[in-house]
Chains A and B, each alone.
Chain A
Amino acid sequence: GAVVSQHPSRVICKSGTSVKIECRSLDFQATTMFWYRQFPKQSLMLMATSNEGSKATYEQGVEKDKFLINHASLTLSTLTVTSAHPEDSSFYICSALGLAVGEEQFFGPGTRLTVL
């Protein structure tokens, strides 16, 4: 199946700093990428949808100025958590959808963010 990678897998940062998480589709072109957030023992919450070359669409309640999403190419999307605070600590998962790989989303392995 299609492979999606995320980098870094874990990051610890100080409060007030910004953190960038990369999501790459390794063997297919992702026309659409999704960013999710998952709290311990909870379901995935969709944060935003990004299409290559256009602005991301954020879900209600997600601050677009805090969670900056860039989908500059068909294989790369980035999520930047700006001025991170402890409450931003979470597991962030991306997924990618490509026309060549059918109807399913392929998920990255996730990034564990801990803000001290």
Chain B
Amino acid sequence: AQSVAQPEDQVNVAEGNPLTVKCTYSVSGNPYLFWYVQYPNRGLQFLLKYITGDNLVKGSYGFEAEFNKSQTSFHLKKPSALVSDSALYFCAVRDQGKLVFGAGTILRVKS
């Protein structure tokens, strides 16, 4: 079965600094990878996805993710964090048409 792991429960970063939220995957075959963000008491918002093609994927709100096959990673990044980026972030992989989510990482951006 396909799975993703988010090794960090929480990431703290100062506003204006670059941020990275980590995700590693375990899949057979080519992975379909996704990042979603969730604000309190809200549903998930799609940020970006990797299906095929360029390893660097650009998404919404200035986020990007790099697909690294050798390290089986798909880390989410942003060059300059905003306080409004504070939220819960989920990495996910598609497995037989269904999304399998990681445990989530809380991102806290402090001013």
A interface, CB within 8 angstroms of B: 1, 4, 6, 32, 34, 41-44, 46, 49, 91, 93, 95, 97, 103-110, 112
3 smallest beta-carbon distances between A and B, as pairs: A107-B43, A107-B44, A109-B43
Report how many A-B pairs have Cβ atoms within 8 Å: 51
Interface of A, helix, strand, loop or mixed by DSSP: strand
Tell me whether A93 and B43 are in contact (CB under 8 A): yes
Q: How many residues of B contact A (CB 8 A)?
A: 21
Given A42-B104, A43-B90, A43-B102, A1:B97 Cβ within 8 A: no
Tell me whether A104 and B104 are in contact (CB under 8 A): no
Smallest distance from the beta carbon of B35 to chain A beta carbons, Å? Answer: 11
Closest Cβ neighbor of B44 among chain A residues: A107
Given A42-B103, A43-B102, A103-B32, A91:B41 Cβ within 8 A: yes
Residues of A within 8 A of B97 (CB): 32, 49, 97
Q: Would you list which residues of chain B between 95 and 109 have a CB under 8 Å from chain A?
A: 97-104
